[in-house]
Amino acid sequence: MFCYQCEETAKGEACTKGGVCGKSNEVADLQDQLIYILKGLAAVNQKARDTVPENPGLKTRLINALKRNQQAKEGEPEDYIDSGFMEEALFSTVTNVNFSATDFKNWIQDAYDKREQLKSELQAHGVGLNDLPQAASVKPAELGDIDSVSILATENEDIRSLRELLVYGLKGMAAYAYHARVLGHKDKDIAAFVDRALVATLDDSLSVDDLTGLVLECGSFGVKTMAMLDEANTATYGHPEPTEINIGTGNNPGILISGHDLKDMDQLLKQTEGTGVDVYTHGEMLPANAYPEFKKYEHLVGNYGGSWWQQKTEFEKFNGPVLMTTNCLVPPGDSYSNRVFTTAMVGFKGLKHIEEKEDGTKDFSEIIEMAKQSRPPEQLENGAIPAGFAHNAALSVADKIVDAVKAGQISRFIVMAGCDGRQHDREYYTEFAKQLPQDAVILTAGCAKYRYNKLDLGDIGGIPRILDAGQCNDSYSLVVIAQKLAEAFELDDINDLPVSYNIAWYEQKAVLVLLALLSLGVKNIVLGPRLPAFVSPNVLNVLVENFNISKNTTVENDLERLL
Binding residues: 3, 6, 15, 21, 260, 284, 328, 419, 447, 472, 507, 509
Sheet holding 526-528, edge to edge: 466-468, 440-444, 412-415, 499-504, 526-528, 550-551
Q: Which is nearer to ligand FSO, 227 or 472 (CB)?
A: 472
Decide which of ligand FSO, ligand SF4, none touches 9; Cβ closer than 5 to 8 Å per partner kind: ligand SF4
Least distance from ligand SF4 to the Cβ atom of residue 383, Å: 33
Q: Which is nearer to ligand FSO, 93 or 327 (CB)?
A: 327
Distance CA 130, CA 419 (A): 44
Least distance from ligand SF4 to the Cβ atom of residue 239, Å: 34
Decide which of ligand SF4, ligand FSO, none touches 526; Cβ closer than 5 to 8 Å per partner kind: none
| One-character DSSP codes across 459-491 | EETTEESEEE--SGGGHHHHHHHHHHHHHHTT-
Least distance from ligand SF4 to the Cβ atom of residue 92, Å: 13
Distance CA 70, CA 477 (A): 35
- Give the DSSP H or E segment for 385: strand 384-387
Distance CA 346, CA 325 (A): 7
- Sorted by sequence, the CB contacts under 8 Å of residue 146 that are 6+ apart come out as 36, 134, 138
Least distance from ligand FSO to the Cβ atom of residue 379, Å: 23
Distance CA 107, CA 38 (A): 10
Beta carbons within 10 angstroms of residue 487's beta carbon: 10
Q: Which is nearer to ligand SF4, 21 or 290 (CB)?
A: 21
Q: Which is nearer to ligand SF4, 175 or 482 (CB)?
A: 175
Q: Which is nearer to ligand SF4, 1 or 223 (CB)?
A: 1
Q: Which is nearer to ligand SF4, 3 or 525 (CB)?
A: 3
Decide which of ligand SF4, ligand FSO, none touches 308; Cβ closer than 5 to 8 Å per partner kind: ligand FSO
Q: Which is nearer to ligand FSO, 264 or 507 (CB)?
A: 507
Decide which of ligand SF4, ligand FSO, none touches 321; Cβ closer than 5 to 8 Å per partner kind: none
Residues 50-78 as b or e (16 or more Cβ within 10 Å = b): ebbeebeebbebbbebbeeeebbeebeee
Q: H/E/C letters for each residue in 60-74?
A: HHHHHHHHHCCCCCC
Q: Which residues are annotated as a binding site for hybrid [4Fe-2O-2S] cluster?
A: 260, 284, 328, 419, 447, 472, 507, 509
Distance CA 344, CA 232 (A): 18
Which residues contact ligand SF4 (rule: CB under 6 A)? 3-6, 8-9, 15, 19-21, 23, 28, 95
Q: What are phi and psi of 509, to 5 degrees?
A: -70, -35
Least distance from ligand SF4 to the Cβ atom of residue 8, Å: 5
Contact 183, 236 (CB under 8 A): yes
Least distance from ligand FSO to the Cβ atom of residue 2, Å: 22
- Give the DSSP H or E segment for 504: strand 499-504
Decide which of ligand FSO, ligand SF4, none touches 5; Cβ closer than 5 to 8 Å per partner kind: ligand SF4
Q: Which is nearer to ligand FSO, 133 or 283 (CB)?
A: 283
Contact 515, 218 (CB under 8 A): yes
DSSP letter (8 states) at residue 186: -
Decide which of ligand FSO, ligand SF4, none touches 33; Cβ closer than 5 to 8 Å per partner kind: none
Nearest to 176 by CA among 427, 549, 535, 513: 513
Least distance from ligand SF4 to the Cβ atom of residue 1, Å: 7
Decide which of ligand FSO, ligand SF4, none touches 6; Cβ closer than 5 to 8 Å per partner kind: ligand SF4
Antiparallel, parallel or unpaired: β 278-282 and 322-324: unpaired
Least distance from ligand FSO to the Cβ atom of residue 327, Å: 4
Alpha helices for 186-329 (secondary structure H) = 188-200, 208-237, 262-272, 292-295, 311-318
Decide which of ligand FSO, ligand SF4, none touches 506; Cβ closer than 5 to 8 Å per partner kind: ligand FSO
Contact 124, 51 (CB under 8 A): no
Which residues contact ligand FSO (rule: CB under 6 A)? 283-284, 308, 327-328, 419, 446-447, 471-472, 506-507, 509-510
Least distance from ligand SF4 to the Cβ atom of residue 9, Å: 4
Decide which of ligand SF4, ligand FSO, none touches 47; Cβ closer than 5 to 8 Å per partner kind: none
Closest residue to ligand SF4, Cβ-based? Answer: 19
Q: Which is nearer to ligand SF4, 154 or 519 (CB)?
A: 154
